Amino acid sequence: MPALNSPPIIEINGISKSFGAFKVLNDLSFSVAPGEKLALIGPSGSGKTTILRILMTLEGIDGGDIKVDGDDLYKMQRNGKLQPADEAHLHKMREKIGMVFQLFNLFPHKCVLDNVTLAPMLTKGVARKDAERHAMELLEMVGLADKAKSMPSQLSGGQKQRVAIARALALKPKIMLFDEVTSALDPELVEEVLNVLWKLCRETDMTMLLVTHEMGFAHDFADRVLFFDRGRIVEDGKPDEIFRHPKQERTQAFLKKIIAAGHRV
C-alpha cells in the first residue's frame, strides 16, 4: 500500500522539456507517494515515456525541478549554492532508481546471469558469490533460473524482458520505472511479463511507475492513474474513476479508441 501520509518520494515541479521546436512536457507537476503504483497512460507522443527517461537521467530538463527521495535530481548543493548536478551527484541519485526498457536492452555478449550480476558487482562492489546468489533468487522469481547460462539471443522476447526486470531489481532500487515493457512482445508473450509485474506489485513496497497501453493491467495494477495528453496531465485519479467514469472528454475519447482497438478495460 502506498504511504500517502509520508512525504512524496518523487516530486515533479513545473518541469518542461522540448525536443527542438516540439514541446513534449509543458509546466508539468505531480508527486508520487512512497510505495505507490502509478500508471501513466495516454496517446503516443503525450510525454509519458519522456517523464520516465527524465527520472532515469537519460534526458535532462529545460525548466522546473525534480526531487527524488528528498534530494534534487538535477541540482546539487555546493558551497551553499544550488548548482547543476555533476556526474557524481547523478550517480548517487541513480542508485534509487531502476528502469526496464521497451526493447529490453540486454547485453548481448553476456549470459543471463552476468547480465544480472554485472551492475551490483561494478557499482556496489558486491562480491561475485553474493551477486550470483541474489541473481539466482531474482531469476527464480521471474521463472528463469534454468536459463542462467543462456545467452540473450537464445531467449524469447518475454524471457528477455523478464531477465531485464531481474537485472534492474538486482540493484535494489526504491523506484522502478517500466517503459512500455510489453509493447514489443508478441501477444502470447505479454502475459508472462505482466505476471512478473503483478507479483512485484503485490509482494514489494517499491514505488513503481508504469507506462503502458495495457489498460486492463493498468486498472488492476495501479493505485492511481495519470492520463496524459500533449505533455500535460488531463486527468488524475483512482483506476476506477479514470477507466469507468472518466470526467474529461479527451480521456473518454482516448479510452473509446482503445476499446475499439480491442483492449480490455
Partner 1 sequence: MGQWAGYLQLILDGAIVTIQLTLMGSALALVMAFLAGLGRLSRFAPVRWLATAYIEFFRGTSIFVQLFWAYFVLPLFGFSLTPLQAGVLALGLNVGAYGAEVVRGAIKSIGKEQYEACTALNFNRWQGLRYIILPQAFVLMLPTFGNNAIELLKASAVVSLISLTDMTFQAQVVRAQTGNTLVPFLTILVLYFAIACVITFAIRGLERHLTRGLDGIRS
Does residue 178 touch partner 1 according to CB under 8 A? no
Q: Residue 191 is placed in which grid cell?
A: 502475459
Does residue 122 touch partner 1 according to CB under 8 A? yes
By beta-carbon proximity to partner 1, the closer residue of 118 and 233 is: 118
DSSP 46: S
With contacts defined by CB under 8 A, name the span among 23-31, 91-99, 136-144, 155-163 that binds partner 1: 91-99
Task: Write down the least CB distance from residue 27 to partner 1, Å.
Answer: 26
- For residue 34, is it left (φ>0), alpha (ψ between -120 and 50) or beta? beta
Does residue 119 touch partner 1 according to CB under 8 A? yes
Does residue 206 touch partner 1 according to CB under 8 A? no
Does residue 109 touch partner 1 according to CB under 8 A? yes
Could you give the CA distance from residue 67 to residue 114 in angstroms, rounded to a whole number? 32
Cα of first residue to Cα of last residue in the chain, in angstroms, is: 23
Q: Label the pairing between strands 207-211 and 224-229.
A: unpaired
By beta-carbon proximity to partner 1, the closer residue of 33 and 169 is: 169
Does residue 171 touch partner 1 according to CB under 8 A? yes
Question: Which of 98, 57, 43 is CA-nearest to residue 211?
Answer: 43
CA R_g for the chain = 19
Angle CA 152–155–158, to nearest 5: 110
With contacts defined by CB under 8 A, name the span among 72-80, 116-124, 189-197, 201-209 that binds partner 1: 116-124
Please answer whether residues 166 and 138 qualify as being in contact, where contact means their C-beta atoms are separated by less than 8 angstroms.
Answer: yes
Task: Write down the least CB distance from residue 210 to partner 1, Å.
Answer: 16
Does residue 91 touch partner 1 according to CB under 8 A? yes
By beta-carbon proximity to partner 1, the closer residue of 13 and 105 is: 105
Residue 28's alpha-carbon distances to 15, 47, 102, 107, 186, in angstroms, are 5, 10, 24, 34, 34
CA torsion angle 247 23 65 12 (round to 10): 20
Task: Write down the least CB distance from residue 85 to partner 1, Å.
Answer: 14
By beta-carbon proximity to partner 1, the closer residue of 24 and 97 is: 97
- Between 12 and 51, how does the x/- string for binding to partner 1 read (CB under 8 A)? ----------------------------------------
Does residue 57 touch partner 1 according to CB under 8 A? yes
Angle CA 262–263–265, to nearest 5: 130
What is the contact surface with partner 1 in residues (CB under 8 A)?
A: 56-58, 87, 91, 94-95, 98-99, 101, 103, 105-109, 111, 118-119, 122-123, 149-151, 153-154, 167-168, 171
